[in-house]
Structure 1
Amino acid sequence: MAVMTRRPSPHAPSPGTGPARGRSVATRLSLLLLALVAGAFAALALPAAPASAHAVLDSSNPIGNSVLQVAPAEVVLTFTESVRKVPDRVRVIGPDGKRVDRGDASFDGRVVTISVEQTGARGTYLVSYRVISADSHPVSGGFTYSVGAPSTTPPSDAVEEEADNPTVATGTKVVRYIGYVGLVLLVGPVLVLSLLWPARLSRSGPSGVVWSGMGLVTLATLAGIWLQVPYTSGGGLFDVSGETLRNVLSSTFGTAHLIRLGLLVAIALLLRPLLRGETGRVDQILLAVLGGAALFTWPIAGHPAASPVAAVSVVVDAVHLASMAVWLGGLVMLLAFLLRQANDRELGAILPIWSRWAALAVSALVLAGTVQALIEVGTPDALVSTTYGRLIIAKVVLFGAVVAVAAYSRKLVRDRLAGGGPRRLRRAVGVELGITAVVLGLTAVLVQTTPARTAAANEELSGPGYYSATLNSNLFNLQVEVDPARKGNNSVHLYAYDQANKPLPVVEWKGTAALPANEVAPVDIPLLPLTDNHATGEITLPLEGDWEFRFTIRISEIDQATVTAIVPIK
């Protein structure tokens, strides 16, 4: 409930009033803004990672790199988790470079079925796909199969390379961070204004903070919908059409964001009387219900919705968000307003209550974070071997520092009640906010990163090995990568450079693989040029041993050279 105090005489200056107070509040708000900007830069400074995804291609029919005697009537892709279509991004390209897929692919949970025209053409076919996993992240890839006998793979301009646009990828992280900052500036201040704000103090400053939070959450929601369109399709920032926008809005991601916008409108209507100090108990309860419902739209549109225990993950993530917003938002109110404007009597009533709230919020954060980590990380090895796991470790370390500062702050609260000065308490609260701003940045990156349990499972599917080497000739340097370098299907990537290590355009790529020790004759590797100096191919290696890879690279009508690599296959 609000803390009621006797109004001071209008002729006597109130504690913390006048120009000095205005300057100090402005200074603290500026420092808070700098901390939030630092958190954003912390997120953007992290190394770029491949497109995050839960799903991965588990199997296909035909099998990649297989040779069939009869052309299949359909191609079937089976993923590890349910996927959703991206318009016109599942294709089958014939040997002549023309599309042979008929109509839209059929999506049924984990299974995608592509009807193929029976053209009778013999040679190598290319299957290219880009789909959306259950947690709203794109999954892309491709493979080849041949009918009758392998041939030259379809030309590189027959299919678009499905790379993520760096501007869109960065924008997605920034928008996530803005949304979290908005929650902090909205949830915590509203709670303090509802239950702890002294009646004599003006609400104009806190009202500005609340409306700023509302604006940031609304902006992040609208921008998130817009960015999701090119993020799923692999296009640029403005590659948005009516069809692609409708496709996003009809997804779980889009539905959750539309519901959030509707709830924000209802919340805004209830905020007006609250910010004037006129709201009643029923309005406060209704505001809490609407706010709780809005919080659930974040996990429903992200990783928790696709976890093995989705119901638990969604609830835990919502609790995590709520605890974070209450704790940090309350700290903002303390640092920017209460510690400067409230008198000793008011602080004597406010600080013990806030200290208990903060302790409960931190406890909920720890508990929810632990449950989240157990679900999303899966194993101790995944904690240290995956990007997601290492981000979790960094977040835990920073959070431990925040908890230590928070414990110091609680001690200062007790000192304050015993007559101690407020300066150290304000400094401690500022440090808490500064560190947690960076934690928010890490969180914005985490939600765009493949969960550790999924990354570890994907690694098991692709195998633990990897081969990389640079082969030299008098014409070029060739970087060769074979993944996973184990028995079964392998991906081969070739990058050509000149003697100055600059990208070198290649006219023709040829490759073979042989296992002389087992009298396995050279087998052609179908190579698909992706750029002037980059080609890729798929090959099945049925036996373990030291395979001999030979690559012949032609860079002009008359200039070519052959290089050899011995690749250990386990």
Structure 2
Amino acid sequence: MSGMTVDRRRFCRGLAALAGLLIGFFAVLAGPAAPASAHAALANSDPANGTIVPDAPNKITLNFTESVQLLNGKIQVLAPDGSRADQGEPVAEGGTVTIPLRSGGGRGTYLVSYRVISADSHPVGGSITFSVGAASATPAATIDDETVDPVVRALIPVGKYLGYAGLVLLVGPVLVLALLWPHRLSRRGPGRLVWLGLGLVAFSTLVAIWLQAPYSTGSGLFDVRVGDLRDVLGSTFGAIMLVRLGVICAAALLLRPLLRGTGNDSKTDLALLGVLGVAALATWPLTGHPTASPVAGVSVVVDAIHLAAMAVWLGGLVMLVGFLLRQADERELGAILPIWSRWAATAVAALIVAGVVQALIEVSSLDGLFFTTYGRLILVKVGLAAVVLVMAYFSRRLVRSKAAEAEPKGLRRVVWAELAVTAVVLGVTSALVQIPPARSAEASQTAGVSTTVTKTLTDNKMALQIDVFPAAVGNNSIHLYAYTLDNKPLTVVEWTATAALTAKGIEPIEVPLLRITDFHAVGDIALPAAGEWTFKVTARTSDIDQSTLSTTVTIN
């Protein structure tokens, strides 16, 4: 009895130490308040950010690097006078959001603020400006498009960790009870473990639904409104969470005979539990990074396999160290341990293969591995996993040598060490799902960065704006705008333009121009080489008046 008390004290001390380690780990991850880390990025817009257009458009188009979903009331367009310029509801199709505008918009600078949900359930916020005719003071935004409450951001990985822990305490123990558990041993202890796992998965799912509301809208933890929860439940994220809750309820009914050990658990029930397990596991990748990867179908399957292998392996270790190595006799261990050893080897192999495939998809480059937060956490996870694999190797040697059957304490110590390190690995995994993958981080750095070169030229008669896009070797678009010196549109009767690269012996090439409005002309030209190109523009404003202006543009 005293030995059991000592074991319980050691168990409690171990759990307390592990809890402290994980709390510190999540505290470091949470860090100070900062803008949301978008997992999608605004690739471009029409009108483009910072540009000047001659006439007010009837719509604005935002193109994102991934599919997005709209949030109610989180997209607005403000006119130069601060009034709302958008009209009707915006529409999202894949990664394209279209915002209809009121007709007859005035001159000046417009502000477009947006906050949407990316395919992997993370908020994406920001703003762009464009001007009609001429720039003016930028109107002040009336919605918060980027903030995420720091408490909400810190609690999300904690909730995910509880869900992963629940999977471990559910999947592995159920498999052991169904296929390896000796009939003479009581199932009360393992049954409590399974119910705890089921409860943790259900609790983490409810927490995820609640946190998604303030995470999406940028509000506080307790500022959630009924409408916010309704929007979450009506989204793809909410639908998948409801599926997970339904699977949990169905599994609870099928688990009762197995956990009681009444002998009424049929093969049909076990098969149904397997189907439900697969369905439940799929809900994790369907609300995370895999859905937004370049090969979404592969990523979802690989991530589900990764989770399943983790749950089988760690859950089986919990059953070994918590029950079998203490309660089973030498004969029973001699039958159980070799089978478990093969299971563990298979699960570890699946973990390694799935992990490598995931890393290749999400990291995509060596720079992404070493110079992004996601990549560095992957390296930390790989290092910890290597430590666990070494421990698993020694435990497998113990099993093969039969020493564990006669003296299970040594094996129990190794398994405890495996569980301690893998608990930290789960913490790293919980953090990874909240951090933009390396591929998204790299896309965010380049997306939305306009390659348009804009130059403004003046003489004593006019001001000329020239836009060159994309300012790279190959086909380029040229936009020309003419203004008076007091920044009003100036009618141009005839436009001519040339481009030359004298440093490489390229003589002036005429740019074919099309007059779009009185003061705006466009043209296309193929630039064959990189360098400092000289653009010369002549704008004739009457039969006797004209201006010729030139500038250099760097073509990459």
TM-score w.r.t. the length of structure 2 is: 0.77
Alpha-carbon distance in structure 2 between the residues aligned to 1:302 and 1:164: 18
Question: Hey, what does 1:244 align to over in structure 2?
Answer: 228
Tell me the alpha carbon deviations over residues 87-108 of structure 1, each in whole angstroms, 9 at most, x when there is no partner.
1111111222222211221112
1:461 Cα deviation from its structure 2 partner: 3.0
Question: Hey, what does 1:255 align to over in structure 2?
Answer: 239
Alpha-carbon distance in structure 2 between the residues aligned to 1:37 and 1:208: 24
Q: Is 1:27 matched up with 2:27?
A: no
Question: Hey, what does 2:54 align to over in structure 1?
Answer: 69
Question: Hey, what does 1:100 align to over in structure 2?
Answer: 85
1:26 Cα deviation from its structure 2 partner: 5.3
Q: Is 1:231 matched up with 2:225?
A: no
Moved more, 447-456 or 387-396: 447-456
Query: Aligned to 1:46, what secondary structure does the other structure show?
Result: helix
Q: Is 1:387 matched up with 2:394?
A: no
Query: Aligned to 2:109, what secondary structure does the other structure show?
Result: strand
Change (3 A) 1:45 1:189: same
1:33 Cα deviation from its structure 2 partner: 5.5
Q: 1:439 aligns with which of 412, 425, 430?
A: 425
Q: Is 1:169 matched up with 2:153?
A: yes
Query: Aligned to 2:44, what secondary structure does the other structure show?
Result: strand
Question: Hey, what does 1:81 align to over in structure 2?
Answer: 66
Q: Is the 8 A contact 2:149 2:219 kept in 1?
A: yes
Two-structure CA RMSD over aligned residues (Å): 2.5
Q: 1:38 aligns with which of 21, 30, 37?
A: 21
Identity %: 55
Change (3 A) 1:26 1:291: farther
Question: Hey, what does 2:197 align to over in structure 1?
Answer: 213
Q: Is the 8 A contact 2:74 2:145 kept in 1?
A: no
Change (3 A) 1:286 1:26: farther
Tell me the alpha carbon deviations over residues 153-182 of structure 1, each in whole angstroms, 9 at most, x when there is no partner.
1135x3435311111111111111110011
Q: Is the 8 A contact 1:130 1:141 kept in 2?
A: yes
Question: Hey, what does 1:406 align to over in structure 2?
Answer: 392
Moved more, 169-178 or 245-254: 245-254
Alpha-carbon distance in structure 2 between the residues aligned to 1:252 and 1:418: 48
Letter in 1 for 2:29: L
Q: Is the 8 A contact 1:188 1:326 kept in 2?
A: yes
Change (3 A) 1:488 1:241: farther
Alpha-carbon distance in structure 2 between the residues aligned to 1:41 and 1:207: 31
Tell me the alpha carbon deviations over residues 360-415 of structure 1, each in whole angstroms, 9 at most, x when there is no partner.
11111001101111111112221112111111111000000000011111122234
Q: Is the 8 A contact 2:79 2:105 kept in 1?
A: no
Q: 1:312 aligns with which of 298, 305, 326?
A: 298
Alpha-carbon distance in structure 1 between the residues aligned to 2:24 and 2:337: 32
Change (3 A) 1:418 1:276: closer
Change (3 A) 1:487 1:75: closer
Tell me the alpha carbon deviations over residues 283-309 of structure 1, each in whole angstroms, 9 at most, x when there is no partner.
212211111111111111111111111
Q: Is the 8 A contact 2:60 2:100 kept in 1?
A: yes
Q: 1:424 aligns with which of 410, 417, 430?
A: 410
1:334 Cα deviation from its structure 2 partner: 1.2
Alpha-carbon distance in structure 2 between the residues aligned to 1:248 and 1:277: 40
Alpha-carbon distance in structure 2 between the residues aligned to 1:168 and 1:544: 50
Alpha-carbon distance in structure 2 between the residues aligned to 1:186 and 1:252: 25
Alpha-carbon distance in structure 1 between the residues aligned to 2:4 and 2:308: 31
Give the number of the structure whose alpha-carbon radius of gyration is greater. Answer: 2
Alpha-carbon distance in structure 1 between the residues aligned to 2:239 and 2:2: 48
Query: Aligned to 2:60, what secondary structure does the other structure show?
Result: strand
Map 1:499-518 → 2, pairs under 5 A: none
The aligned length equals 457
Question: Hey, what does 1:322 align to over in structure 2?
Answer: 308
Tell me the alpha carbon deviations over residues 116-140 of structure 1, each in whole angstroms, 9 at most, x when there is no partner.
2235433221110011111111111
Q: Is the 8 A contact 1:39 1:440 kept in 2?
A: no
Map 1:90-169 → 2, pairs under 5 A: 90-118=75-103, 120-155=105-140, 158-169=142-153
Alpha-carbon distance in structure 2 between the residues aligned to 1:189 and 1:26: 23
Tell me the alpha carbon deviations over residues 251-280 of structure 1, each in whole angstroms, 9 at most, x when there is no partner.
221111111100100100011111111222
Alpha-carbon distance in structure 2 between the residues aligned to 1:85 and 1:235: 16
Change (3 A) 1:120 1:51: closer
Q: 2:267 aligns with which of 281, 284, 296?
A: 281
Question: Hey, what does 1:365 align to over in structure 2?
Answer: 351
1:29 Cα deviation from its structure 2 partner: 5.2
Change (3 A) 1:202 1:363: same
Alpha-carbon distance in structure 1 between the residues aligned to 2:19 and 2:333: 26
Map 1:181-200 → 2, pairs under 5 A: 181-200=165-184
Letter in 1 for 2:125: S
1:54 Cα deviation from its structure 2 partner: 3.3
Letter in 1 for 2:218: G
Question: Hey, what does 2:508 align to over in structure 1?
Answer: none
Letter in 2 for 1:140: G
Query: Aligned to 2:40, what secondary structure does the other structure show?
Result: coil
Which stretches in structure 2 are left out of the alignment for 5+ residues?
Answer: 455-529, 533-554
Alpha-carbon distance in structure 2 between the residues aligned to 1:449 and 1:177: 14
Q: Is the 8 A contact 1:304 1:310 kept in 2?
A: yes
Moved more, 318-327 or 139-148: 139-148
Change (3 A) 1:445 1:347: same
Alpha-carbon distance in structure 1 between the residues aligned to 2:447 and 2:245: 40
Letter in 1 for 2:54: Q
1:458 Cα deviation from its structure 2 partner: 2.5
TM-score w.r.t. the length of structure 1 is: 0.76
Alpha-carbon distance in structure 1 between the residues aligned to 2:314 and 2:405: 25
Question: Hey, what does 2:39 align to over in structure 1?
Answer: 54
Change (3 A) 1:33 1:309: farther
Q: 1:290 aligns with which of 268, 276, 284?
A: 276
Moved more, 347-356 or 115-124: 115-124
Q: Is the 8 A contact 2:35 2:147 kept in 1?
A: no
Structure 1 stretches (4+) deviating beyond 4 angstroms?
A: 47-50, 486-489
Query: Aligned to 1:101, what secondary structure does the other structure show?
Result: coil
Q: Is 1:350 matched up with 2:350?
A: no
Moved more, 301-310 or 363-372: 301-310
Tell me the alpha carbon deviations over residues 453-510 of structure 1, each in whole angstroms, 9 at most, x when there is no partner.
12122223366xxxxxxxxxxxxxxxxxxxx9x8759xxxxxxxxxxxxxxxxxxxxx
Letter in 2 for 1:64: N
Which stretches in structure 1 are left out of the alignment for 5+ residues?
Answer: 1-17, 464-483, 490-542, 546-568
Alpha-carbon distance in structure 2 between the residues aligned to 1:127 and 1:371: 39
Q: Is 1:299 matched up with 2:285?
A: yes
1:36 Cα deviation from its structure 2 partner: 4.9
Query: Aligned to 2:76, what secondary structure does the other structure show?
Result: strand
Alpha-carbon distance in structure 2 between the residues aligned to 1:299 and 1:253: 11
Letter in 2 for 1:236: G
Query: Aligned to 1:238, what secondary structure does the other structure show?
Result: coil
Query: Aligned to 1:364, what secondary structure does the other structure show?
Result: helix
Query: Aligned to 2:284, what secondary structure does the other structure show?
Result: helix
